[in-house]
Structure 1
């Protein structure tokens, strides 16, 4: 009875299992949660360049790798902290506008304010040559226009009168002398007396007139030495003056100086000979175009400005029976300076965020993706910045909405950890996962021992031989050729010891050379995974050695260093980022081979 019951129970279990298997074959269960095989694909994304997305399967437009399907509930590949992705609706809401980067003329307009000053180079002080008294003023007010040689005042001087009498007496004596020797002596005395009169203020014309008439005058006129305007008058009629006292100050206002202060940042735009358009409220509707004649090389320490001078023609005009200059002394005036540079690479001023050492701009990568770029700026024009580095001609830069994009980038950045370069063995166990784009783009050298010496010729020779073999090994893996990898790897057994011996007396090279000596004895591999696992630490050591070579020896400056952010997909347990050296282009990835041959980015530093 018990045996029959046991057999019946076993039969039920078998039938239930068979029924369940049959039902599962015909009516499979739906998968819930994170099971991507049953969830809907929302888009396809590039693992190497996460901002490249598509609604359909295909290849990355940048590196050519196959796009990975992203299902509902999956976050997909994270972009770098500098990359911002917006939906089409967000782009429309914040009114994102872009502009094509191209070469263009850079125009700069400076508006400056200054004063109209008199021309210091055409200024004269009329002073008394001898003691005397002012009898009458021919010009008795400031601002009067005088011509050269016109009388300024009538002057009485006993000393001048005595000198005139002596001059006339010598002339009379010479006329009564018959001896040739005496006449020659008299001529010398007359010339000396005439020179004295000239030093006492008489002009040559007045001296000749005195000799012709042979009559001295108790009063003499002092005449204007230049044509100009009376700037100051220091005397009055009846005033006694002594030798050296100032009588008048004259200025030639036929040319005036417009002077203004230019800030240090504007000096790059100002050159001697550059034309400035000057206007003043005193002469409305008229513009004076004149060149810059001088820029003071001494910067004012208090204001950090330099004085700039523009020389303007000031015509003489006649109105209501009077004469005067069009421009007055010390007038307020404004200047307009226009400067145009030849075609340079420039972007709109609105595209630049925080001009200065941390200047930023965002470049449209398409599909709502915007890449943050650090800029090196040159001169600032009216509408554009000169760009020395950071963007390239033909790219599209964001000119409106970039402040909101930058705010989103800062939020993204706070969520991205800083990845470190793996050590030379290439195998690390990170405490947490990093995205492919989190890796640094510069390499840190381990164990540097002071300044690196330059190579001797024997060292350069063995370095060249080593790089040829290292490059051949990398190219073999890029071609997925294990046999060629093994053949080239055997050559390292001779090249690496020679390299180690050549650099034995170079202490600063020892860290990188010792790393090559410990990783460069590659053994034959049975398959590609084993070959790439052995190649990774050797490649990392080669990169450190190549960095020193290309930084300190011109012949190695063309060496290329590339980074692959997906090494762990080919080498289990390895860090995400791997580096390798190439001596020629194009890029050929030795870690991924034909699967993603062009995957990688160049490391510049």
Structure 2
């Protein structure tokens, strides 16, 4: 009994201790949360809710401008402390009202402070015309103020960009003459960083030269079409398929034709009549006409002589090849019925071949019949075949806008196969003592050709040029450059863009200069 009472007392004491400890823990946790809640606004206030997008280290607790670049400070959403809905509703009016009252007075102070701060140096700018501290107009020039971030923002007076708030940079635009070349200044260090390279203009001999592609084809003058001159049936066909080689005198086919049989009988009858009449002139003419008829129907003189010698009619008349070549097309088989309109086969000789090359439309002006051509067949390992332009076709291909040129080549041993692609080099006349530059120095825009000329150690000018012939990496300059001038061959596109920007500023200044001149007069 006594032990049971002791156990009950211990259990009550343990329950009391546990309940008291949990209350102490909850109070300590609440005190910790209150401490963190009071510390958070202090850190936000210390760092500032507003920062510069270009210079994040510049922060402020009020709206304004960056003291380095002048850009508008933006609010840091991550730094805004969380608030309860009750406190936000209750303090909305009191929080916003002081800010609206302080903003007009703070903004002018920040604006004036930003205008007196020096702008950050930009190492990537190729052209630095004048410093921002210089407010005087250069000789023959006009001062313009441009936003570094938004070049389309141009002003006649100092100020800030309405888009980003940055300070406008001063640019001196020369206005000596509307036709004056736009000059770009680049320091030696920046030239080395941009890897600018130059080359001198020089006099050289340029050959009219075109490298194009062509295709090997049949010599169409060597194609032969074989037709039967009588109606009949093919009794035997000696040619089996297209592509077979045919030798001169080789049997092509045998035909049975009633017309040929009748013509042979008429010839034999005329021959017998002549012999019985004692070789009278009248019957001699009859025999001659009978033999001519056999020739016109396709029989050879050898076959006619054999017919006269044997006196026997041939019912299966053989026909032989009159020249050598290859079967190009075969349209008949054994037992077929033939008519004069039926093409038995076509054959072509490969002793000569044509190479048809396509030349661009703008290169046709100097092509002429008889000019030298060099043919290479990369697929067959054939190089340096020499030929001449045999024919220039009278019209351009309307789809490819190219002109076809024909070159005839001998084909000893049938090395060249039709329908094989070929590399064709055409050589024309020469332009001697032409002013040339490397072709990579040209800036071709479609409307105008320009080059960048180095006029001094640190000065470059964009100059329009008139281009003549271009051949093998060289371009002929007809107008715009002189001898021994330095043209930029690497990095010229960056300089051209800078010159175009400055030229735009010059065009913007011209109407205003004319307006001031009219008011003065």
* Structure 1 residues 157 and 135, CA gap change in structure 2 (3 angstroms): same
User: Could you tell me which residue of structure 1 aligns to residue 393 of structure 2?
Assistant: 296
Q: Over aligned residue pairs, what C-alpha RMSD do you find?
A: 3.4
Alignment-derived partner of residue 368 in structure 1: 458
1:76–1:120 Cα change, 3 Å: closer
User: How big is each residue's C-alpha offset from its partner over 1:208-234, in whole Å with a ceiling of 9 and x where there is no partner?
Assistant: 333344333222221223321111222
Determine the structure 2 residue equivalent to 1:342.
Answer: 431
What's the CA shift string for 1:485-515, capped at 9, x where partnerless? xxxxxxxxxxxxxxxxxxxxxxxxxxxxxxx
- 5+ residue gaps, structure 1, are 1-45, 50-72, 317-324, 433-572, 575-605
* Stretches of structure 2 lacking an aligned partner (at least 5 in a row): 1-137, 142-169
Does 2:249 correspond to 1:152?
no
Q: 1:102 to 1:295 in 2, by over 3 A?
A: same
1:217–1:278 CA distance, 2 compared to 1 (3 A): same
> Which deviates the most, 407-416 or 269-278?
269-278
CA drift at 1:145: 1.9
- SS of the aligned residue for 1:210 comes to helix
Question: For the structure 1 residues 118 and 77, does the alpha-carbon distance in structure 2 shift closer, same or farther, using more than 3 Å as the test?
Answer: closer
Within-5 A mapping of 1:67-466: 80=180, 82-107=182-207, 110-178=210-278, 183-268=280-365, 270-280=367-377, 282-316=379-413, 325-338=414-427, 341-343=430-432, 344-354=434-444, 356-417=446-507, 419=510, 430=517
Deviates more, 1:224-233 or 1:262-271: 262-271
Q: TM-score, normalized by length of structure 1?
A: 0.52
Whole-angstrom CA distance in 2 between matches of 1:84 and 1:207:
94
Assess, with a 3 A threshold, how the Cα gap between structure 1 residues 355 and 385 changes in structure 2: closer, same or farther. Answer: farther
SS of 1:297's equivalent in the other structure is strand
**1:282 positional shift:** 4.9
CA shift, 1:192, in A, is: 1.6
Q: CA deviation at 1:205?
A: 2.9
Cα-to-partner distance string for 1:417-452 (whole Å, 9 max, x where unaligned): 5658x99xxxx96279xxxxxxxxxxxxxxxxxxxx
- Return the offset for 1:48: 8.9
C-alpha distance 355-211 of structure 1, shift in aligned 2 (>3 A): farther
Which structure is larger by alpha-carbon Rg, 1 or 2? 2
Give the Cα–Cα distance (whole angstroms) in 1 for the partners of residues 375 and 484 of structure 2: 40
Deviation for aligned residue 1:102: 2.0
1:281/1:94 CA distance change after superposition, 3 Å: closer
Report if aligned partners of 2:181, 2:463 keep a CA contact under 8 Å in 1. Answer: no
- CA offsets, 1:90-134, max 9 Å, x none? 333323322222221225654433332211111111111101121
- Contact 1:279/1:288 (8 A) holds in 2: yes
Aligned counterparts of 1:356 and 1:273: Cα–Cα separation in 2: 34
